Amino acid sequence: MSKSETALPEQAVVPNANKRAGRAVDPHKRSLLRQYLDNKYLVLLLLPGLIYFIIFKYVPMYGLLMSFQDYSVKLGVWGSEWVGLKHFEFLLTDPNFLMVLKNTIWISFLKILFGFPAPIILALIMNEIRAEKFKRLTQTLTYLPHFFSWVLIGGLITTILSPSTGIVNAIIKLFGGEPIYFLADKNWFVPILVITDIWKELGWGSIVYMAALAGLDSQVYEAAIMDGAGRWKQMLHITLPGIMPTVAVMLILRVGTVLDAGFDQIFNLYSPPVYDVSDIIDTYIYRMGLQNFKYSLSTAAGMFKSVIGLALVLLTNYLSNKFSGGEAGIW
């Protein structure tokens, strides 16, 4: 990547090439139209994608305008009545939406608090495994749940946690406890969300840290062993500081998506008894919009989420660029 960035800028190359060809065209004076015509095959390649992005990504953004309207399907965005910030005012004073907002942030916070360190710890543990075959086998197995949909994983979880036939309650009963209906219990539902999310993404999330660990200098370890440092000391003083930059960047990027509390997961696991603790912005948007047909209100909630999400992504990307000296970040 950096190699091609250091290549000569085009202005420096093109004039010479033209001179050699005996033409005296100053590229700065070439009209934009001329440039496009010179690259007509590239334009042809760009067009399908451009049209796709305009229709399927930018038209819906234009549709966000309906959050400032009382949208009617018959009149469309052009004809519907403008109502200003009415829907936003409603949302921010609606106890229901405030609860949804609180749930979203709380679930996300817990997922970051427990779910973020988990793959780091797993990577550190796997790094201590010397038997290559065993290591590869454990990696293959722990990556596996990442490749299944939350519909399937939701089904697995429902079976495992079933109060009558599930294995978890069988173990509880074995030790003389009372069976717990985990998925319908307000106190248990959020911890279950956090635990199952970790279970699904733990192995996959460790890949990036395994790569960072593989990049650490083995000579430093050899020197430490000469100095008599044990495995624990090596991990504490060499391994951990070595992967810290990766950890920091991953954390910053993760915080940028704090309003995504996991729609796929919750939508496949929740039920009315636990709505109070598990209703998040995305499930609220779905129910308001596609079940109650309050398009404008629902879109306002979506807009609220998108705008805060954008601000967070911009902020966190700025921070991660700053932190890593421009090495990391999405762009």
Partner 1 sequence: MKIKQSIGSRIATFVIYLFMILLCITTVYPFWQTLILSISSRAEAMGTGFHLWTTQPDFSAWLKIFESPVIVRACINTVIRTVGGTAFGMFISVTMAYPLAKKKFPNRKFYTALVIFTMMFNGGMIPTYILVKNLHLMDTLWALILPSAVSPFNLIIIKNFFTSIPESLEETAKIDGANDIYILWKVVLPLSMPVLATVTLWLMVGQWNSWFDAVMYTSDRSNMVLQLFLREIVITQTAMSDPTMMTNQANVVQPATESIQSAAMMFVTIPILIVYPFLQKYFAKGVMVGAIKG
Find the binding residues for partner 1 in span 97-156 (CB under 8 A): 122, 125-126, 128-130, 134, 137-145, 147-149, 151-152, 154-156
| 8: Cα within 13 Å, side-chain hemisphere | 7
| Residue 266 per-residue DSSP state | H
Examine residue 309 and tell whether it contacts partner 1 (CB under 8 A).
Answer: yes
Can you tell me which of 81, 89, 217, 327 binds partner 1, judged by CB under 8 A? Answer: 327
Find the binding residues for partner 1 in span 50-89 (CB under 8 A): 50, 52-53, 55-64, 66, 73
What are the residues whose beta carbons fall under 8 Å from the beta carbon of 225, sequence distance 6 or more?
Answer: 234
Examine residue 315 and tell whether it contacts partner 1 (CB under 8 A).
Answer: no
Q: Which H/E stretch holds residue 142?
A: helix 132-143
* Shortest separation between residue 43's beta carbon and partner 1, angstroms: 7
Smaller CB separation from partner 1, 190 or 301: 301
Can you tell me which of 6, 28, 49, 84 binds partner 1, judged by CB under 8 A? Answer: 49
Examine residue 17 and tell whether it contacts partner 1 (CB under 8 A).
Answer: no
Number of residues that bind partner 1 (CB under 8 A): 104
Smaller CB separation from partner 1, 190 or 250: 250
The letter for the amino acid at 20 is R
Q: In the stretch 199-238, what mask flags binding to partner 1 with x, by CB under 8 A?
A: x---xx--xx--x-------------x----xxx------
Q: How far apart are CA 331 and CA 325, in angstroms?
A: 13
∠ CA 297-302-304, nearest 5°, is 95
Chain centroid to CA 189: 22
Tokens of 66: 């309906």
Q: How far apart are CA 210 and CA 208, in angstroms?
A: 5
